[in-house]
Amino acid sequence: MKHARVAFEGAIYEAVQVEEGIQLTNGKIVQENDVVWLPPFVPQTIFALGLNYADHAKELSFNTPTEPLVFLKGKNTLTGHLSKTVRPHDVTFMHYECELAVVIGKTAKNIKEKEAYEYVRGYTVANDYAFRDYLENYYRPNLKVKNRDAATPIGPWLVDREDIEDPMNLQLRTFVNGIKTQEGNTKDMILSISQLIEFLSSFMTLNPGDVILTGTPKGSVDTKVGDEVVTEIENIGRLVNTIIAEL
């Protein structure tokens, strides 16, 4: 099933996708543009992977990491489907990153790779914008690169784990103003979902609502004010975001 969280007429609702549109918990059916889309789950700790696709590392002229390059993001960074993200005045290279986001469903500590999927609630789409001008050291990302307000659209849907047969074989695509600029497949991740869960849970407890952004394939293109950026992942969803100018 596909789940969402939306604001409608001054209240926040859980919602599901139905043939007629979006059904709120009060039974009312609304359409995509009738609501304000929120992240489809209540986020806790946000983990982000850098250089988890070899082709993206090569594209950025970095060596492929030998262990997970993980950093944390604040909840302020997340925003929903059909939202707007600010391009700062001083930035010359702001690029999208289409990523499979893995949402944890139950408490996990010292989990082995073969058991990892038992702790996954579901999957969604994330677009983790990067502001390359602020990058000091890719192996120690500057906060200004990855922690700006509303710079990580996520959603629209959280798809139940059971509904995705193989999360390690999904097509990812990005379109800027209708033109395809990025394409890849989750099978090309350097570290798989189960390996990442084993790694993280080996030294810290993962909790329901934690989310892992698993990295992006090659295809980083600068985005400008006014651009509509669509990031989509096979069987999971199509996430739309628009770039606006800084006031």
Phi, psi (degrees; rounded to nearest 5) at 26: -85, 5
Same domain, yes or no: 81 and 159: yes
Give me the number of domains the chain comprises.
2
Distance CA 241, CA 98 (A): 12
**CATH code assigned at 224:** 3.90.850.10
Q: How confident is the model at residue 25 (pLDDT cuts 50, 70, 90)?
A: very high
> pLDDT digit string (tens) for 135-180?
866 555 678 889 999 999 999 999 999 999 999 999 999 999 999 9
Same domain, yes or no: 148 and 231: yes
Same domain, yes or no: 28 and 62: no
Same domain, yes or no: 182 and 83: yes
Same domain, yes or no: 103 and 16: no
Mean pLDDT estimate for the chain: 93
CA distances from 140 to 69, 198, 240 (A): 9, 22, 29
> pLDDT digit string (tens) for 92-102?
999 999 999 99
Same domain, yes or no: 182 and 61: yes
Same domain, yes or no: 71 and 82: yes
> pLDDT digit string (tens) for 51-102?
798 765 556 556 666 678 899 999 999 999 999 999 999 999 999 999 999 9
Same domain, yes or no: 171 and 130: yes
Same domain, yes or no: 27 and 51: no
Show the domain range for 90: 41-245
**CATH code assigned at 6:** 2.30.30.370
Same domain, yes or no: 135 and 219: yes
Inform me whether the pLDDT recorded for 20 exceeds 90. yes
Same domain, yes or no: 78 and 106: yes
Contact predicate 6/122, CB 8 Å: no
Query: Whole-prediction pTM value?
Result: 0.94
CA distances from 185 to 9, 56, 70, 166, 244 (A): 38, 12, 20, 12, 29
Same domain, yes or no: 19 and 73: no
Pick from 223, 220, 230, 221: which is nearest to 57 by CA?
Answer: 220
